[in-house]
Chains A and B, each alone.
Chain A
Amino acid sequence: MPDPAKPAALLEPDELKPAADLAGRLLEQLDLLLFGRPELHRLVTIGILSRGHVLLEGVPGVGKTALVKALSQLLRLDFKRVQFTPDLMPGDILGSHILQEVPGAGREMVFRAGPVFTHLLLADEINRASPKTQSALLEAMQERCVTLLGTTRPLPDPFFVLATQNPIELEGTYPLPEAQLDRFLFKLVVEPADADALDRIISTRRRGEPPAPTWSMSADQLRETFRVMDRIFLPRPVARFIARLVAATHASAAESPPLVKTYVAFGASPRAAIAIAEAARAAALLAGRPTVGFADVRAVAPPVLNHRLILNYKARLDAVSAFAVVRELLDKTDEAGLNLPRDLSVAEVNRA
């Protein structure tokens, strides 16, 4: 039986190029629809290509919902939006059984599917719902199915949750539990648009509404892209780098840098290592490469790890953020694993 981690040959350029073009076009269209955040768009695209769920965090009005809506238009996927409120119940998301008159059969309990049965679910202000309602999404996000009254129903494929949360107005909110956070591939911080982007928005958009996209990706094209992405090769040294990186997030690890030892209470789970590997594959596809490089890992590691590191109270006192810890991790971890002596270093590369 062939080892799936060791393909006999890499993807041929002819196989890779259509998928890479599609992914690139998706990103290009996103940049056309929404101004000023190419890096955010790139990471959201990577998240979608990795079939992961994305948590968007930002103050109101920065375009979180607009981004998700634009994505749903571009992907031509079934899209549902749920506004999370404190009185929202699990049944409001998952669906419930109702008593229905069936002609000729009397009355019977019929399952009425909730909004979770969709391709792209926008969970707006997810932290406003109670933990009970938030936890209703756990099975859906991880297993991609819903179990009600002993019956498990699969969700449509693909299934993405794009959630937003507001970091201010925390009164009356319920912070997402770690188990829920861990199920999000990325947590992306949506920064306010800069002056140039704002200028372009108010100059070219009436009431700030983005124009209808001129191109969209079909479900088949998306599935084909996923298929190609699965064949992106992850070399052993890169896999080793990801493993060392995630292991070093634990304060007890020998390789962990001082910042981790001081400020991290709990490090990232193995799910984080899987998420980095998947996201790095998507990043390689977006770059049109059949293999994952160290740069791909470095690009996706911060959004994957930042919400998975649980910092201690000292970090809050010293105003140390998870992003700072991840940056230190990436700086201090030797990607190639050369373990050169301290007085010997690689200086520069002369390119031909």
Chain B
Amino acid sequence: MSHDEQLVGRFSGHLARWFVLRQSVAAVTAWAFLWGTAVLVLKVTYGTSVPTLLWGVVGLPVALGLAAWLALRGLPNRSAVRALLDSTGERGGLLMAGAECDLGEWEAEPTTAELPKLQWRGKRPLGFLALAGAYVALAFLLPARGLAVNGTPLDIDRPADRLAEQVRVLKDEKILDPERAENLKQKLDEVRAQGGGKDPAKTHEALDHLKDVVKQAARQAAEEKARQANQLGKVDAAAEALQKAAPMLSPQEAAELLKELAALAEKAAAESEALQGEFSAELAAALKEGKLSPEQLKQLAAAAKSGKDSLAKSAKNLHNAKLIDADQLKACEGGKCDADGLAKYLAKNAGKKGLKDGLREVQEGNGGVNDDGPGDTPLNFGDRSTADGTKFKEEALPPSELAALKESQLTGVGKAAPKRDPDAAPPQAGGLTGAAAGGGSANAAPVLPQHRGAVGRYFDRPEK
């Protein structure tokens, strides 16, 4: 091999080394950044242990192999290397010619012994490599616990506090028994403790479940209270009505109605603790016998009112704790019965209809018990209004049609007297057809002078 060939070979090798080096630096940098990122992700998501994460090092030879392959692919060919050496060595084309023809005596020409030096501006790539190394080290050194999303608690204090308050209200209102309330509280504390950032959906699902349980209990209680309030309202109204209607009833009729009231009150008391607490022993005994004195009737009405109030108060507490809505609260405040109407009804239908029928009649939505007919409703006028100060839209009236009539022509005179056709259909289109609304005039399309002859001929009647 000639000296020139050796030079070219040496420089090609030199170039290859530099190419591989710079490509390797780039590849290792990329691999290190990827590895570091993978380490962080695995630590955070799965809490992977360090020995397992060290397996990432197997990517290094792969990266280096890829770098070497890419570097060798991008190497300049020998002809270009020869040209470079010829140029830098000031060989005037002899080195290049050596590859194409026989140099003959020119081969003995003195040549350069040293190769040109290659310079690599590697500060930036090496800086990035160092940065990548530091990144990998940092990824390994950072504690997994500090990175884990699990460690981040989920902020559910507000909904949990509200739920705890609702449970407390339900417990206070004796809707939930203490054991059940305590159980719910424990579950809530568990959700609070275990609720983390790892699986927020699960935590919220648990909270929603507890919320449903609490709301369901509150809703059932509210329905029960509404029913009891309705019963108490009936008892209250019936007691009041019997007091008012007593003078108009015979003793036998009054006794019958009192018996019915007693049965109604006993049934209500059996269903409602609120009413039971209000009954005195004497009243309870009288109710059992079905004989109530006017004084006892008063006591019964007061007891029913008091029971209604306590139910309403309890419902108000539930509403304040956002356990029931406004409609449910209104239902719990009890149905209002018209005691006066019921008294009138009982007096009128004494001996024919019972208390139950009367209550059904006076119930809200049934139209009341007054059957006196419509009667004359007084007509009331409010304050009269005047047109003073009112502004009306001014509008000019259409000009008179007189001018058009002046230009009209006589087209003929009929001899026959006009007759009315009784079978003729009413005119479909009158003189106001097409008139502008509010225009104040009928449609009066003028016949142009050039058309008047044709119109006249159309309407001209032949003389008979």
Contact = CB atoms under 8 A, between A and B. Distances in A.
Interface of A: 6-10, 12-13, 233-238, 241, 284, 287, 289-296, 335-341, 343-352
A287 B125 CA distance: 44
A235 B211 CA distance: 90
A10 B22 CA distance: 40
A284 B119 CA distance: 31
Interface in B108-156: 110-122, 124-125
B92 interface: yes
A336 B83 contact: yes
A233 B93 contact: yes
B96 A291 contact: yes
B86 interface: yes
Contact of B84 (A284, A346, A351): A346
B47 interface: no
Q: Indicate the member of B79, B93, B94 with the most A CB atoms within 10 Å.
A: B93
Given A238-B93, A343-B22, A349 B82 contact: no
Given A7-B101, A12-B105, A237-B80, A346 B93 contact: no
A350 B114 contact: yes
- Top 10 closest pairs, chain A to chain B, by CB: A352-B113, A291-B93, A235-B96, A350-B114, A293-B92, A237-B83, A336-B83, A336-B84, A293-B93, A347-B119
Q: Indicate the member of A241, A294, A296, A350 with the most B CB atoms within 10 Å.
A: A294
A351 B79 CA distance: 22
B90 interface: yes
Contacts of A9: 101-104
A289 B93 CA distance: 9
B116 A233 contact: no
B97 A233 contact: yes
B91 A237 contact: no
Given A6-B101, A293-B86, A346 B117 contact: yes
Contacts of A238: 83, 93, 96
Given A237-B82, A352-B110, 6 more contacts: A237-B86, A237-B96, A296-B93, A347-B117, A349-B117, A350-B114
A343 B128 CA distance: 15
A78 B121 CA distance: 60
Contacts of B80: 237, 336-339
A284 B86 CA distance: 14
A338 B76 CA distance: 6
Nearest to A344: B120
Contacts of A294: 83, 86-87, 93
A352 B7 CA distance: 13
Interface string B6-19: 00000000000011
Contacts, number: 146
B100 interface: yes
B84 A10 contact: no
Nearest to A339: B76
B408 interface: no
A8 B104 CA distance: 10
Interface in B54-112: 74, 76, 79-84, 86-94, 96-97, 99-106, 110-112
A351 B94 contact: no
B94 A289 contact: yes
Interface of B: 18-19, 22, 74, 76, 79-84, 86-94, 96-97, 99-106, 110-122, 124-125
A12 B104 contact: yes
SS class, residues of chain A in contact with chain B: loop
B116 A346 contact: yes
Contacts of B93: 233-235, 238, 284, 289, 291-294, 296
B92 to A, nearest CB: 4
Contacts of B104: 9-10, 12
SS class, residues of chain B in contact with chain A: mixed
B102 A10 contact: yes
B105 A335 contact: no
B4 to A, nearest CB: 13
Contacts of A341: 19, 22, 74
A237 B119 contact: no
A346 B85 CA distance: 10
A10 B103 CA distance: 6
Contacts of B18: 344
B127 to A, nearest CB: 12
Contacts of B103: 9-10
16 contacts: A6-B100, A10-B97, A233-B93, A235-B93, A238-B96, A291-B96, A291-B97, A293-B94, A294-B83, A341-B19, A341-B22, A344-B118, A344-B119, A345-B119, A350-B114, A350-B115
A259 B23 CA distance: 32
Contacts of A351: 112-114
A295 B90 contact: yes
Given A9-B102, A238-B93, A340 B76 contact: yes
A245 to B, nearest CB: 14
Q: Indicate the member of B76, B100, B113, B125 with the most A CB atoms within 10 Å.
A: B100
A293 B91 contact: yes
Contacts of A335: 83, 87
A287 B92 contact: yes
Contacts of A236: 79, 96, 100
A352 B114 contact: yes
A13 to B, nearest CB: 5
B63 to A, nearest CB: 18
Contacts of B88: 346, 349
Contacts of B19: 341, 344
B117 A291 contact: no
B114 A235 contact: no
B424 to A, nearest CB: 92
Nearest to A298: B87
A330 to B, nearest CB: 13
A13 B105 contact: yes
A15 to B, nearest CB: 10
Q: Indicate the member of A233, A241, A346 with the most B CB atoms within 10 Å.
A: A346
Contacts of B124: 343
A340 B424 CA distance: 108
B106 A13 contact: yes
Nearest to A340: B76
Given A236-B79, A336-B87, A8 B119 contact: no
A348 B117 CA distance: 6
A343 to B, nearest CB: 5
B97 to A, nearest CB: 4
Nearest to B114: A350
A4 to B, nearest CB: 12
Contacts of A233: 93, 97, 100-101
